[in-house]
Structure 1
Amino acid sequence: MTAPRPSPQADDVSHDITRLLRRLSDEGGDAGLTLDEVRDRLDERAYGLLILLLSIPCLVPGLYGVPQVVGVIVILLAAQMLVGREEPWLPRWFLKLRAKGSWLKAMADFAESKLGWIDRLSRPRLRRFADGPGEKLAAIFMILATATIVLPLTNTVPSVALALLSVGLIQRDGLFVIAGAAVTTAWLTILGAVGTGLLMGAEWATRWLPG
């Protein structure tokens, strides 16, 4: 007999990120949780937390391969946010994967030791930028930021933008969403300027070629 699926949690922003991860670790115990069970325990902030967890390995400068694979999943999640899907859809085989209890504990320990600043600085504010239409706008910036991750040696800055945007959605903090959107905009502007410069330089150089 299959155990009943837990009912979706209310959107309670009183649970900060470190407490949320610790709760997952405690509930998983030694056996851990399947990714489907993790998703069911993340309430309405599942999108934000999943994207935050995916963006962390992409912060490593010059990393190639992993950011490109992760980027596909992030775009899939962000696109679902954009169309208003309440619960993230991921392939069934992916959801059946199990996060070991030791991994969940290590993740919670890491959050408590390294990510405490997020909980200190973030809080519910400017919620119109982190909920409803603001959430959809954040999804657009996530897609734009992720699109640049596929470029070689350019994964760190857009991953910072993804982390800021996802924290904003998790904590319902519009200021973090605005910061993530600003980083994305600045990054796209820089890439556009560099690309334009290279094209103009190439065009200038061809004028001096013989024939």
Structure 2
Amino acid sequence: MTSPHSRHQDDVSHDLGRLLRRLADDGGEEGLTLHQIRDRLDERAYGLLILILSIPCLVPGLYGVPQAVGVIIILIAAQLLIGREEPWLPRRVLNLRAKGKWLKAMADFAESRLGWIDRFSRPRLLMFTTGAGERAAALFMILATLTIILPMTNTIPSIALALLSVGLIQRDGLFVLGGAVVATGWLTLLGVLAVGLLIGAEWTSRLIFV
């Protein structure tokens, strides 16, 4: 008898391009709902869902889409953080459909522009992709996404999200570390800028009102 969770057994034998191509082929012209996409994935559902959602956020200066998508990413990453086996999403979100043309474009993009990921990524440094390492990656995803929600700050944290997601999909701790470094650097930069603005505002107020 097949275990109810057997379809979630981790298998890194498929590269990223092949995973996306399989989704595009399964969806055909009609496409797939997020529910159907989730049910076609193994334990990498978390990483691939977040990667699919983060790619549109790479467009510089985009407003509206990153803010809406960011809420969903945080919800997914939070479940990964607490160790939930399969990502849960509200039914309304699960019923959202990725059109066939969009899935095909994603697969084409992965095959033409992201082939280097499949060439360079491989299972390694597994301590950063499983257990506590996986939960740490989820925390960095949440922190990066919080800055995506801010206006005009979406591209760099989306790069961090993409690296973290690929690391979890391919079980490559080096990509997870790269995403964590990008996220940490970005958060540090924003923190320095915020402190600078506060100090500048205080100095200006003293100059004007004292």
Same fold (TM over 0.5): yes
1:163 deviates by 0.5
Alignment of 1:74-153 (within 5 A): 74-153=73-152
Give the match's secondary structure for 1:8. Answer: helix
Q: Which runs of 5+ in 2 are unaligned?
A: none
Q: CA deviation at 1:143?
A: 0.5
1:40 corresponds to: 39
Cα 1:122–1:88 shift into 2, 3 Å:
same
Partner Cα distance (1:59, 1:28) in 2:
24
Aligned length: 207
Range with greater deviation from structure 2 (104-113 or 176-185) = 104-113
Q: Which letter maps to 1:95? A: L
**1:202: Cα distance to partner?**
1.4
Match of 1:14 in 2: 13
Aligned-residue offset at 1:31 = 4.4
Q: How far apart are residue 27 of structure 1 and its match? A: 2.9
Q: How far is the alpha carbon of 1:194 from its aligned partner?
A: 0.8
Structure 1, unaligned runs of 5 or more: none
> Is this contact kept in 2: 1:6–1:40, CA < 8 A?
no
SS in 1 for 2:208: coil
Q: Is structure 2 residue 190 aligned with structure 1 residue 191?
A: yes
Q: CA deviation at 1:85?
A: 0.7
In structure 2, distance between residues paired with 1:180 and 1:124: 16
| Mapped contact 1:47–1:77 kept (Cα < 8 A) | yes
The letter of the residue matching 2:135 is K
Q: In structure 2, do the counterparts of structure 1 residues 30 and 71 end up closer, same or farther at CA, with 3 Å as the change threshold?
A: closer
Change in Cα spacing, 1:56 to 1:203, as seen in structure 2 (3 Å) is same
Sequence identity, in percent? Answer: 73
Alignment correspondent of 1:203:
202
Distance apart, 1:167 and its partner CA = 0.5
SS of 2:44's equivalent?
helix
Contact 1:126 1:175 in 2 (8 A): yes
Structure 1 residue 33: Cα displacement: 3.0
- Over 3 Å counting, the alpha-carbon distance change for 1:22 and 1:199 in structure 2 is same
For residues 166-200 of structure 1, give each alpha carbon's deviation from its aligned partner in whole angstroms, at most 9, with x where no partner exists. Answer: 00000000001011111111111111111111111
> What letter matches 2:177 in structure 1?
I
Give the secondary-structure state (helix, strand or coil) at the position aligned to 1:208. Answer: helix
CA distance in 2, matches of 1:103, 1:138: 27
Which structure's residues are more often helix, by fraction? 2
1:69 corresponds to: 68
Shift of 1:204: 1.5
**SS of residue paired to 1:109:** helix
Q: After TM superposition, give the deviation of residue 25 of structure 1 in Å.
A: 2.4
**Tell me, what secondary structure is at the counterpart of 1:43?**
coil
Mean alpha-carbon deviation: is it higher for 23-32 or for 87-96? 23-32
CA distance in 2, matches of 1:63, 1:70: 12
CA distance in 1, matches of 2:203, 2:32: 58
Q: Do the aligned residues in 2 keep the contact of 1:81 with 1:136 (CA within 8 Å)?
A: yes
Q: How many angstroms apart in 2 are the aligned matches of 1:6 and 1:129?
A: 23
Q: Are the equivalent residues in 2 in contact too, given 1:6–1:41 (CA < 8 A)?
A: no
